Amino acid sequence: MSISRIFTVFRKDIAVGPRSPIILFALVMPLLLTLVLHLVFGGLLTSRPRLAIVDEGASEVTVLAQQLPGIETTILHSTVDLKDRVEANEFDGGLVLPADFDRAVRDGEKPLLRLFIGGESYAVSRLVLAVTAIDLIREVEGKSPPVNVELVDLGRADPIPLSTRFVPVIAMYAFMIAGLFVPASSIVEERERRTVVAVLTSPATIGEFLIAKATLGFVLTVSMTAITLALNDALGPAYGAMFGVIVITAVFWTMLGLVIGLASKNSEVLFAIVKASGALFMAPVIFYIFPDWPDWIARIFPTYWAIDPLWRVMADGARFVDVAGQLAIVVAMSLALVPAIAALSRKMQKQLAAG
């Protein structure tokens, strides 16, 4: 086996990569899904209302508002600036406090309080800001609120945001497209164009040809998965463990890609296999979006073991040793694919020689 011949085939694939729609799709799809995730959940799942205050007289309301843990309070110096930024939806609401506001409240007067509300703010944010403003004014006035509110969180102690639960979906797309579909489609394309015949009539062997295809998928998988997780701030606290998980999982997906590529006689068969198995491959990630579903169902799917270690390192801060058992299953599945790759490669050689 020659490293130089493997590198020659690999370099050729890299050179034609920008012209391949499959490789471009592998590069763009995870990034596009990340962009959609941030656009949708970056706004919909904002947990704390955003309040801007213009204080013309050092009001106690401003001090109290800055101490509230459930509201993002920003101090501005111009009413015009406040109105413009609330209108632009930089803040959910804006409060303007006159110079003598505290004295007027304590004297029993009814000073003008201007609360500007953004047109795109959510109803719950408007309600929170309005109720909060009234409570703060009652404190300045010296009166206690009519009720004491106790917040009881019935969720888990450290809830994982829904946006984070969608990250395995994007990571799975990176694994499937770059690790499985790229090497599989590259094999089928060379088979249909008969360029594989030219490669195999050269000193290069079928093994070197397949290793080059697997290397292409492996490099793309590791790169795109790491970039995708970094863009979603989901690499977790243990970078070394995450890199190890990505590498081992990428090997499994690229070997699965070789099996599917060798088993597909043409592009129609390849797309039929991918479409038929896509739901099976993607099924485990649904259980991260809906954590109340019993996870024993997810464990039935082989690809569960190729995504759960990544989730545990990302969401739970697991170390490499904590997921070593699951990764051992991934390694075992990869080794189980070796005989299938060997048998299918011999079959493809015979078909090429006969046809």
Give the sheet arrangement for strand 93-97, strand by strand: 72-76, 50-55, 93-97, 114-117
Retrieve residue 51's tokens. Answer: 């309040």
Look at residue 238 in the predicted model and tell me its pLDDT: 81
In this structure, the answer to whether residues 106 and 244 fall within a common structural domain is no
Report whether 73 contacts 53 (CB < 8 A).
yes
In this structure, the answer to whether residues 130 and 219 fall within a common structural domain is no
Whether residue 155 lies inside any domain: the answer is: no
Look at residue 248 in the predicted model and tell me its pLDDT: 95
Name the packing angle between helices 182-193 and 206-231 (round to 10°).
140
In this structure, the answer to whether residues 106 and 248 fall within a common structural domain is no
pLDDT of 109 above 60: yes
25-42 pLDDT per residue, tens: 777 777 777 777 666 555
Report whether 255 contacts 230 (CB < 8 A).
no
Q: How many domains does the chain have?
A: 2
Look at residue 336 in the predicted model and tell me its pLDDT: 95
Whether residue 154 lies inside any domain: the answer is: no
208-248 pLDDT per residue, tens: 889 999 999 899 999 988 888 888 778 877 888 999 999 99
Whether residue 296 lies inside any domain: the answer is: yes
Whether residue 147 lies inside any domain: the answer is: no
Report whether 310 contacts 285 (CB < 8 A).
no
pLDDT of 152 above 80: no
Cα distance between residue 147 and residue 199, in whole Å: 80
State the average pLDDT over residues 163-184. Answer: 84
To the nearest whole number, what is the mean pLDDT of the chain?
81
In this structure, the answer to whether residues 203 and 330 fall within a common structural domain is yes
**C-alpha pair distances (Å), 269 with each of 20, 170, 184, 264:** 19, 25, 11, 5
**C-alpha pair distances (Å), 208 with each of 55, 107, 200, 212, 337:** 72, 88, 10, 6, 17
In this structure, the answer to whether residues 51 and 24 fall within a common structural domain is no
Report whether 185 contacts 22 (CB < 8 A).
yes
Cα distance between residue 144 and residue 148, in whole Å: 9
- Burial code (b: 16+ CB inside 10 Å, e: under 16) for 272-287 equals ebbeeeeeebbbbbeb
In this structure, the answer to whether residues 329 and 263 fall within a common structural domain is yes
Look at residue 219 in the predicted model and tell me its pLDDT: 92
In this structure, the answer to whether residues 172 and 104 fall within a common structural domain is no
pLDDT of 151 above 50: no
Per-residue pLDDT band for 148 (boundaries 50, 70, 90) equals: very low
68-87 pLDDT per residue, tens: 877 888 999 888 998 999 88
In this structure, the answer to whether residues 303 and 263 fall within a common structural domain is yes
The gap between the terminal CA atoms of the chain, to the nearest Å, is: 26
In this structure, the answer to whether residues 93 and 31 fall within a common structural domain is no
By the 10 Å C-beta count (0-12 exposed, 13-18 middle, 19+ buried), 252 is classed as buried
CATH number at residue 103: 3.40.1710.10
In this structure, the answer to whether residues 111 and 197 fall within a common structural domain is no
In this structure, the answer to whether residues 167 and 29 fall within a common structural domain is yes
- Parallel/antiparallel/unpaired status of strands 93-97 and 72-76: unpaired
Retrieve residue 327's tokens. Answer: 């990764």
In this structure, the answer to whether residues 64 and 113 fall within a common structural domain is yes
Look at residue 332 in the predicted model and tell me its pLDDT: 96
State the average pLDDT over residues 118-143. Answer: 75
Least Cα distance to 97 among 121, 133, 73 occurs for 133
Domain containing 93: what range? 47-141
249-282 pLDDT per residue, tens: 999 999 999 999 999 888 888 888 888 888 888 8
